[in-house]
Structures are given as structure tokens and as C-alpha cells.
Amino acid sequence: MREAKGKGDGQENAPNFIHDLVREDVRTGKHGGVVVTRFPPEPNGYLHIGHAKSICLNFTTAALSDQGRCHLRFDDTNPEAEDVEYVESIRQDVRWLGFDWGSHEYFASDYFERLYQCAVDLIRRGLAYVDSQSLAEIRERRGDFYRPGVNSPFRDRSVEENLDLFARMRAGEFDEGAHVLRAKIDMASKDVNLRDPLMYRIRKVTHHRTGDDWCIYPMYDYAHPMSDAFEGVTHSICTLEFAHHNPLYQWFVSHFEFDPVPRQYEFARLNLTYTVMSKRLLKRLVEEGHVGGWDDPRMPTIAGMRRRGYTPSAIRRFAERIGVSRRDSLVDVGLLEHALREDLNATSPRTMAVLRPLKLVIENLPEEEEIELVAPYSPDDPSFGSRRLYLTRELFIEQEDFMEEPMKKWFRLAPGREVRLRYGALVTCNEVIKDGSGSIVELRCTWDPESKGGNAPDGRKVRGTIHWVSAKHAVDAEVRLYDRLFNEENPLDESHEGDFTRRINPASLEIVRGAKLEPSLAGRGPGERVQLERLGYFVVDPDSTPDRPVYNRTIQLKDSWAKLAGKG
């Protein structure tokens, strides 16, 4: 497959403090110079562009060492929300982005037994206990930043009693909420997370992989560092909201003889303008029918972006350009679109289609005549090849490309004016035919037979060039045009009224039926990308059938971001 080359492909050195520190670890031979990372999604929704940042970061970080590797670990410790549908979509999305975890696919649920045994070990060593307070009491006695915590009355249970109760929790003898297992750290710690955090709770729910084997489930704060340690992860990279959990992470892994001992590093999550990026909110958009599904081309999900026509390399290049820091920011979606256009510009064949057809009749071209033209797929790269176009008596042009009473500087078609049909010929409009209600139904034109291919024979100046298709050869299609899903830069900004769904752009999807495609656009398979001259970059949608192609507009040609940034 073609990829955009040159400037901007792996050559920008946006600051990335994780890469810097890992390079230093490799140089100094820490962990034998080996780097092991992991991408740990919870299979409770589809991945989004924020996850893509994390995926790119984890895989490129591991690649900094020769024997580095990045694991794909499904963090499936929370049975309620998880589903196999999500597991499969996550695998597909990571692969599509261009990354390979080899044989290193893991599930936190595979560690349930080992996690249980380690918990028993902590109980034996007096480092964990069963608490029988209610969750409300536990929360209340935990205190906060200003108030120290208060010890549970069950904190000093004997090891034997704790072992017995924990075993019976596992055996299903108790109801949900009757007991929990807590780490015994320090209720007076300044760090609230170290005030005897929960390790296990009773949940009588079926897990999508372990079924009803378990009725106690480990908490994230316990399962996550331990899973990292079990797998030999060296650098556990996560987003900043976990920074407060770092000391607890260290506490758990330091109580066992792990080699290497994993360490957690936090970076700022990606936020993008004109979208929301939490799975919880994306799930609402799907469930409440605001969009057609997780892979709706307006969604910031990887599946949605794929269907929209994004290329994996554009997403990777974007991730590289935004860099990695510890400062939260809101990234302009224009930057992502800019990376996409660079890629599509370099890789898409140019073709023609008319979205809103207006009939043009060439009066001096007989009905039975067909003028065959060979047009290149790219004006400046012959390696794209070419296709055939047919100039026939009846053509379609874009309604927008005709103006009955032209304004100043109008170079497209108008009564008495001559225009160039791209790769076709020069035509002059002689007459405008209207129906009873005054709408234009047809333009009567003549062509200059000397201008075959679109060149003026005598070098006369014809400034306007428009796209067209032969009515006889045109293929009918549905074309879906997209705009931003939200009207506001930050749909979650608290200054707005009401729920974020009230900021949905009602014009974010426009379906154009009865578009006319040039013949080469029929029979292309889902995922094939083209440029439709003057209209934008498009991709074949999976809803497409051989008789009725469906094209999605990925993005328009004009790059307002490049202009703003002074590059356009």
C-alpha cells in the first residue's frame, strides 16, 4: 500500500519524555536493557483515538529496545460491563493500527487464581485483612485530605480468622457487601489511597470468561500492578489520573520477589476538540441512538475512523506529532485531519463524481457518438495508472457549477460562457431549459471538437474547470457527507447548559442519494479510498453493494488548519 512520504513521516521529534527516560534505561542496561510494556484495555467498549495514543506510545516505547515487547492485556476484572464483542473489536483495532503483540496476549482473569494466592500470602504476613464493615462505613472512616482515617474494628483479626473468612468469601458463603479484603497499610497516611485500600469484593455475577468460577473479584488497584509484575512488565505506562495510585502500585509489587519490579509512569491523556472521549459517554451515544453504532463514521472510535476512511499511518503520525508530556491539553482536531490529508493526498487516485446532478446536453454531439478519453488517476504520478472516461451527448455536472446570472469572478459555467470539462473538452452554454416552476432542468451547450482532452486548441484562455460524468455511463450511488459530531469545541464544558448530547450537531450527517459516479468508481470494495476531484477524499462504505455503491466522505480537500498554522 502507498503511504505518504517525506516531511512528517516519522521525522518529527515532538517531545516525548517517556521515550527519553526509556532510552536512558536502555543505555544504562536497566533490566538487562529489555523493555516490556503493555496496553491494558478494559473490554467494556470500543477503542477510541485516545487509546490510539496509548497504543502507539506503548508499542513504540517497547521498540526502543532490541528485545522489547508490548503485551495486549485485557483488564477484565470488572465482570458487569465486559463482553467478548469488545475483546474482538480491540484485537482488530490494535492490529489495524499496525501493531503486533505476537503471542503476548493476556487476560487479567487468567491470573485470578494467582492473585488469590498472593492475597492469601499477604494475609499470612499480616498485610491484609477481612473487613466486615459496610462499604458506606468504610468510605466514611477512610477520611479525606483533611481528616485522617479511622481503623476498622475488624483490623486486628487474627491471621487464622482472616484466612478462614477469605476462603469462605471465595466459596460463596456470604452475600455481596458482607465482607471485603483490604490491604493493611496505614489509616493515618497522608496518601488517602494507602488507607487500607480494598483488594477484593464479593460480586455474584457471571464473568464473560471465567463464568461462575468466582464470586470474589480483585480491585483494579491490586490486580493491575500484580498483572504487570506477573508478565515481567518493566515500564507500566498509564494516564495521569492514576498518578495518585502510584505509591499503592509500588506497595503491592514491592511485597513480592518480582524481577523485574515494574514501575508506573504517567502521561497526559489525549483530549480532542469537537468530540468526547470516554467510553461511558460514547456508549451513551450508541445506546441512545444519536449515532448508528460504535463504528459510525462520526465517532472518535478507531472502528468509526476506519469506516470514515482514516489511514492507520495518519493516526500514528498524529500520535507522534502531539508528543507525550505530563501537561493536560486539548488538541485541535484539525491537527489530526491535517495528518490524514497528507496521507490521502499522497495515496488517493483522483476520480470524478457529481453529487447533485444537473443535465448538460452537447447539441453538436450525436446521440450514438462516444468519445473515449484516457485520464490519469494522478496528474503528476504516472504510477497510479489511468482510466477511461466517455464524452457523450448527455452529461451531468454539479448544480453548484452553473450560475444563470453570474457574479463577479465567476469562472464556472453561465449562459454564453465557456468552461473546461476536466480531461474532457471545452463547452459553451447556449440555452437554459426550465420546467413549469422555473427550476433549471437542462443546459444546452456545444463543444469545440478541437478541444478533446480539455485543451484549448488556439491557446485561448478558459479559466474555469469543472468535473462531470457521462449520463450514459454514470453509476448511481449513495454518498454520505459528515461534519463534526458536536457543535462545541468542548462539549463537556460546564458553562454549557444541560447534557452533552444537546451539543450534537444536527447536520453532522447528510445522505445524498442519486449521486452520479464515473464508471471506474463502481465495483470498488469496502475500504477503498479515492479522491473525488473538488469534493474531497472518499472511501467505500461496508454498506456498499455491487449494484449500489455507498461512499463516505472522509474529509474535504481544504485544509483550514494548515492555513492557520501558516503551512497552507
C-alpha cell at 194: 494507602
Size of the site for Mg ion (CB under 5 A): 1
How far apart, in whole angstroms, are the C-alpha atoms of residue 450 and residue 458? Answer: 9
Considering the complex, state which of residue 204 and residue 280 has its C-beta at the smaller distance from ligand ATP. 280
CA-to-CA dists, residue 61 to 69, 152, 271, 281, 521, angstroms: 9, 43, 21, 29, 41
Site for Mg ion in 36-75 (CB under 5 A): 42
Which lies closer to ligand ATP via its Cβ, residue 9 or residue 42? 42
Taking the least distance from each CB to ligand ATP, the nearer of 31 and 51 is 51
Check residue 382 and report its DSSP letter: G
**Which residue, 123 or 299, has its beta carbon nearer to ligand ATP?**
299
CB of 374 to Mg ion, least distance (A): 55
Q: Rounded to whole angstroms, how far apart are CA atoms 435 and 430?
A: 17
Residue 239: contacted member of Mg ion, ligand ATP, none (CB under 5 to 8 Å, by partner type)? ligand ATP
Which one of 108, 119, 270, 319 is in contact with ligand ATP (CB under 6 A)? 270
Q: How is the chain split among helix, strand and coil, in percent rounded to 5?
A: 30, 25, 45
Contact status: 238 vs ligand ATP (CB under 6 A): yes
Nearer to ligand ATP, 72 or 128 (CB): 72
Write the single-letter amino acid at 416. G
Q: Which does 53 bind (CB under 5 to 8 A by kind): Mg ion, ligand ATP, none?
A: ligand ATP
- For residues 543 and 307, what is the distance between their CA atoms, to the nearest angstrom? 10
Q: From CA 34, how far away is CA 25, in angstroms rounded?
A: 9
Distance separating alpha carbons of residues 138 and 183, to the nearest angstrom: 13
Q: Which residue is nearest to ligand ATP (CB)?
A: 50
From the CB of residue 80, how many other CB atoms can be counted at a distance below 10 Å? 11
Q: Cα(82)–Cα(100) distance, rounded to whole angstroms?
A: 23
Q: How far is the CB of 280 from ligand ATP (least distance, A)?
A: 6
- Stretch of 271-279, 338-346, 384-392, 492-500 contacting ligand ATP, by CB under 6 A: 271-279
DSSP 81: G
3-state secondary structure 229-252: HHCCCCEEEEEHHHHHHHHHHHHH
250 or 428: whose CB is closer to ligand ATP? 250
For residue 433, the cross-strand partners are: 442
d(CA 390, CA 392): 6
Binding-residue total with ligand ATP (CB under 6 A)? 15
278 binds, among ligand ATP, Mg ion, none (CB under 5 to 8 A by kind): ligand ATP
Find out whether 419 and 352 touch, Cβ atoms under 8 Å.
Answer: no
Taking the complex as a whole, how short is the minimal distance between the CB of residue 236 and Mg ion, in angstroms?
A: 14
Window 277-306: contact mask with ligand ATP (x via CB under 6 A): xxxx--------------------------
What is the x/- site pattern for ligand ATP, positions 46-85, by CB under 6 A? Answer: ----xx-xx-------------------------------
Minimal distance, residue 236 CB to ligand ATP, in Å:
9
Question: Please, what is the minimum distance in Å from the beta carbon of residue 500 to ligand ATP?
Answer: 14
Cis check: omega of the bond before 349, within 30 degrees of 0 = no
When the beta carbons of 46 and 402 are compared against ligand ATP, the nearer one is 46
CA-CA distance, 193 to 249, in Å (whole number)? Answer: 10
One symbol per residue from 389 to 428: x for binding ligand ATP (CB under 6 A), - otherwise; what is it? ----------------------------------------
Using left for φ > 0, alpha for ψ between -120 and 50, and beta otherwise, residue 550 falls in beta
Q: Can you name the residues that pair with 391 across neighbouring β-strands?
A: 371
Residue 249 has a CB neighbour count (10 Å cut-off) of: 23
Closer to ligand ATP by CB, 58 or 554: give it: 58
Residues 471-490 that bind ligand ATP (CB under 6 A): none
d(CA 455, CA 452): 7
Enumerate the active-site residues.
Answer: 42, 269, 279
| Selected binder of ligand ATP within 168, 201, 269, 496 (CB under 6 A) | 269
Considering CB distances under 5 to 8 angstroms, the limit depending on partner class, which of Mg ion, ligand ATP, none binds residue 300? none
Selection from ligand ATP, Mg ion, none that 269 binds (CB < 5 to 8 A by kind) is ligand ATP
> For residue 353, which of 544, 481, 515 has the smallest C-alpha distance?
515
Choose from Mg ion, ligand ATP, none: what does 51 bind? Cβ within 5-8 Å by kind.
ligand ATP
Phi, psi of 553 (to 5 degrees): -80, 120
* Options 132, 239, 428, 556; binder of ligand ATP; rule CB under 6 A: 239
Please name the amino acid found at residue 95.
R
Residues engaged in binding ligand ATP (CB under 6 A): 40-42, 50-51, 53-54, 238-239, 269-270, 277-280
Residues engaged in binding Mg ion (CB under 5 A): 42
